[in-house]
């Protein structure tokens, strides 16, 4: 017997409600962390909240789907008024965007995100620190030294994760946050490895966030000498002291295969070995030494002889400058432009990136010397990006799905463990991917997690996630009733089957969040 789309939607709603029933009713005090210092954890809804009125995804909904982590109520009306071109330019210049609320929340909650590398390690005898004796709650965080904390590694991971979620939910600089996630995957570091667990917080700030909408070459260099990257891919152990010493190739291989040229970019094993030779001598002080976390170049551990990388001669005697010469060579190689362009087009257009759009994007990358805004501007101007048949065709990765649901419902959240646990179960919690290639983009990797998506939709709509709350009835009223709520969530007017299922399900908001239409952007 065939199943109609409407029957599927109603059945899906039943699965959502059934799967979420274990959460039970929201308990008193479940949202006690909704406000910090009296400040709301969600921007207020102001101005016209006019929902989308088109029967299909229009250009405004399409741009909001692809350039942000999801539209908030009122976003469609605001972008419609200013125009999509103006919105894109606004997002490409994040420093000009007022983002005070998000910045205040992050600054108040997360001391670690502003601290230098050397202040992040725990000390010996941490548990007996006199301040912790006086203030036992500090044991959960670490020891305080002057104005700085020395943190437990679990605290650092929690801070990074929560801040990443809150920024994606709250920030007005949405494209910037999307690109932070893109480059975090591109230059992936697993914080569970050795001392990277203390250093990734600084890498997120000083490498990824500092350059996410800047220049690719500058970001690549910052990554190459990042203390966290030197630990993660063993660059700190790459040395040649004796003539018979062989360099460590781990970082050199990933530099060529993942960060620049791509796996089919035309390099050879000999190129990997030569790049590794160029990068000998760079290291980082570990937690047992003074000035821990400091990156150093040790000339006596560097192979200072001549090298040949991708057909280009690098003369002897350059010392530390070998690193910059290598980066100049690999960034200028046409395979790097193509590799980066393919990944960008896969993120913003389709899992199978169209060749014409890749070519335009790669050309802009090359012409601009790796300027990220220029490259993105070219991508967003391609015909392939705007094709109506491509709209709503990108399956949301779990992080995107969860954050877009929070934004669509104007949810307040503290992004603590009850919410993050859903990302863990969905397999997409930030900074948890073990291999250097980063979380996959393609839908095929993520389509086995539908049950947990339904669970999340039910829990969110029913206020079953501690620390997170949706004012469903208030939102429905502000949006003009059921039709406005459905249109805001879906980015277009609901279809007949969706409308019928919404009313029949008994859990309409949860159904919309779990619907096939909301799963795609």
Express each pLDDT in 439-487 by its tens digit. Answer: 999 999 999 889 999 999 999 999 999 999 999 999 999 999 999 999 9
Give the model's confidence band at 122: pLDDT under 50 very low, under 70 low, under 90 confident, else very high: low
Residue 412 has pLDDT above 90, yes or no: yes
What is the predicted pLDDT for the residue at 11? 53
What is the distance between the alpha carbons of residues 372 and 361, in angstroms, rounded to a whole number? 10
Give the model's confidence band at 339: pLDDT under 50 very low, under 70 low, under 90 confident, else very high: very high
Residue 129 has pLDDT above 80, yes or no: no
Q: Which residues of 455-484 are buried (b: 16+ CB within 10 A; e: fewer)?
A: bbbbbbbbbbbbbbbbbbeebbebbeebbb
Residue 40 has pLDDT above 90, yes or no: no
What is the predicted pLDDT for the residue at 153? 80
Give the model's confidence band at 150: pLDDT under 50 very low, under 70 low, under 90 confident, else very high: low
What is the predicted pLDDT for the residue at 119? 77
For the chain, percent of residues with pLDDT exceeding 70: 86
Give the model's confidence band at 27: pLDDT under 50 very low, under 70 low, under 90 confident, else very high: very low
Higher pLDDT, 34 or 228: 228
Q: How many CB atoms lie within 10 A of CB 431?
A: 20
Give the model's confidence band at 125: pLDDT under 50 very low, under 70 low, under 90 confident, else very high: very low
Span 341-351, average pLDDT: 98
Express each pLDDT in 305-320 by its tens digit. Answer: 999 999 999 999 999 9
Angle at 186 between CA 100 and CA 180, to 5 degrees: 5
What is the distance between the alpha carbons of residues 173 and 209, in angstroms, rounded to a whole number? 12
Give the model's confidence band at 390: pLDDT under 50 very low, under 70 low, under 90 confident, else very high: very high
The answer to whether 314 touches 326, Cβ cutoff 8 Å, is yes
The answer to whether 419 touches 468, Cβ cutoff 8 Å, is yes
Q: Specify whether the backbone of 480 is left (phi greater than 0), alpha (psi in -120 to 50) or beta.
A: left
What is the distance between the alpha carbons of residues 392 and 389, in angstroms, rounded to a whole number? 8
Upper half-sphere CA count for residue 510 (Cβ side, 13 Å): 30
Task: Share the mean pLDDT of the chain.
Answer: 89
The answer to whether 394 touches 350, Cβ cutoff 8 Å, is yes
C-alpha separations of 282 from 19, 179, 228, 288, 295 in Å: 52, 28, 13, 18, 7
Residue 33 has pLDDT above 70, yes or no: no
Span 220-236, average pLDDT: 97
What is the distance between the alpha carbons of residues 376 and 365, in angstroms, rounded to a whole number? 9
DSSP state of 299: G
Higher pLDDT, 114 or 397: 397
Residue 274 has pLDDT above 60, yes or no: yes
What is the predicted pLDDT for the residue at 314? 98
Helix (H, G, I), strand (E, B) or coil at 361: helix
- Annotate 156-178 with three-state secondary structure: HHHHHHHHHHHHHHHCCCHHHHH
User: What's the token pair of residue 378?
Assistant: 């070219």
C-alpha separations of 396 from 40, 304, 408, 518, 519 in Å: 27, 48, 14, 9, 6
Give the model's confidence band at 19: pLDDT under 50 very low, under 70 low, under 90 confident, else very high: very low
Per DSSP (E only), the strands in 199-241 are: none
Give the model's confidence band at 289: pLDDT under 50 very low, under 70 low, under 90 confident, else very high: confident
* 10-19, 138-147, 150-159: least confident range: 138-147
For the chain, percent of residues with pLDDT exceeding 90: 79
* 159-163, 202-206, 272-276, 290-294: least confident range: 290-294
What is the predicted pLDDT for the residue at 39? 47
Express each pLDDT in 80-99 by its tens digit. Answer: 999 999 999 999 999 999 99
Residue 257, phi then psi, degrees to nearest 5: -80, -40
What is the distance between the alpha carbons of residues 98 and 85, in angstroms, rounded to a whole number? 19
- Find the distance separating the first CA and the last CA of the chain, reported in whole Å: 30
What is the predicted pLDDT for the residue at 12? 54
What is the predicted pLDDT for the residue at 46? 81
Span 199-207, average pLDDT: 96
Sorted by where each begins, the domain ranges of the chain are 5-87+395-519, 334-390
What is the predicted pLDDT for the residue at 34? 42
Residue 226 has pLDDT above 60, yes or no: yes
Give the model's confidence band at 2: pLDDT under 50 very low, under 70 low, under 90 confident, else very high: very low
What is the predicted pLDDT for the residue at 329? 98
Express each pLDDT in 362-380 by its tens digit. Answer: 999 999 999 999 999 999 9
What is the predicted pLDDT for the residue at 173? 98
**pTM for the whole structure:** 0.90
Higher pLDDT, 488 or 109: 488
Q: How many CB atoms lie within 10 A of CB 95?
A: 8
Give the model's confidence band at 130: pLDDT under 50 very low, under 70 low, under 90 confident, else very high: very low
What is the predicted pLDDT for the residue at 24? 39
* 4-13, 257-266, 355-364: least confident range: 4-13
What is the distance between the alpha carbons of residues 418 and 95, in angstroms, rounded to a whole number? 32
Per DSSP (E only), the strands in 226-275 are: none
Helix (H, G, I), strand (E, B) or coil at 395: strand
Give the model's confidence band at 152: pLDDT under 50 very low, under 70 low, under 90 confident, else very high: confident
Residue 354 has pLDDT above 80, yes or no: yes
Give the model's confidence band at 167: pLDDT under 50 very low, under 70 low, under 90 confident, else very high: very high
């Amino acid at each position: 017997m065939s199943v109609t789309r409407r029957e599927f939607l109603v059945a899906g709603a039943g699965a959502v409600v059934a799967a979420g029933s274990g959460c039970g009713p929201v308990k008193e005090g479940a949202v006690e962390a909704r406000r910090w210092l009296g400040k709301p954890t969600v921007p207020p809804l102001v101005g016209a909240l006019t929902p989308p009125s088109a029967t299909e995804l229009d250009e405004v909904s399409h741009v909001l789907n692809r350039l942000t982590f999801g539209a908030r109520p009122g976003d469609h009306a605001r972008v419609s008024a200013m125009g999509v071109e103006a919105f894109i330019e606004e997002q490409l210049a994040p420093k000009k965007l007022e983002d005070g609320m998000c910045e205040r929340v992050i600054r108040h909650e997360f001391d670690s995100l502003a601290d230098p590398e050397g202040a992040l390690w725990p000390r010996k005898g941490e548990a007996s620190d006199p301040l912790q004796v006086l203030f036992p709650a500090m044991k959960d965080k670490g020891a305080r030294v002057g104005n700085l904390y020395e943190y437990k590694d679990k605290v650092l991971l929690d801070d990074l994760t929560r801040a990443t979620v809150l920024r994606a939910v709250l920030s007005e600089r949405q494209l910037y946050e999307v690109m932070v996630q893109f480059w975090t995957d591109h230059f992936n570091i697993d914080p569970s490895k050795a001392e990277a667990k203390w250093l990734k917080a600084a890498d997120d700030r000083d490498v990824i966030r500092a350059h996410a909408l800047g220049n690719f070459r500058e970001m690549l260099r910052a990554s190459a000498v990042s203390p966290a990257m030197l630990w993660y891919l063993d660059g700190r152990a790459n040395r040649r002291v004796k003539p018979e010493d062989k360099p460590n190739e781990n970082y050199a291989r990933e530099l060529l295969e993942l960060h620049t040229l791509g796996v089919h970019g035309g390099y050879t094993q000999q190129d990997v070995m030569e790049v590794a030779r160029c990068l000998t001598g760079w290291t980082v002080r570990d937690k047992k030494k003074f000035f821990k976390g400091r990156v150093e170049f040790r000339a006596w551990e560097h192979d200072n002889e001549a090298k040949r990388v991708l057909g280009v001669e690098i003369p002897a005697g350059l010392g530390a400058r070998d690193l910059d010469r290598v980066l100049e060579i690999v960034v200028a190689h046409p395979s790097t432009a193509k590799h980066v362009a393919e990944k960008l087009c896969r993120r913003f257009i389709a899992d199978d990136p169209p060749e014409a759009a890749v070519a335009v994007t790669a050309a802009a990358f090359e012409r601009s010397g790796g300027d990220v805004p220029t490259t993105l501007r070219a991508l967003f101007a391609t015909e392939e990006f705007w094709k109506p048949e491509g709209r709503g065709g990108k399956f949301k990765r779990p992080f995107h799905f969860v954050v877009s649901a929070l934004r669509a419902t104007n949810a307040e959240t503290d992004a603590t463990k009850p919410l993050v646990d859903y990302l863990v179960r969905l397999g997409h919690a930030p900074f948890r991917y073990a291999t250097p290639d980063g979380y996959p983009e393609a839908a095929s990797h993520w389509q086995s997690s539908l049950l947990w998506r339904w669970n999340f939709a039910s829990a969110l709509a029913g206020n079953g996630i501690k620390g997170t709350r949706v004012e469903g009835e208030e939102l429905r009223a502000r949006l003009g009733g059921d039709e406005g709520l459905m249109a805001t969530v879906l980015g277009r007017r609901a279809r007949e089957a969706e409308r019928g299922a919404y009313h029949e399900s008994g859990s309409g908001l949860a159904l919309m969040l779990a619907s096939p239409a909301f799963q795609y952007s």
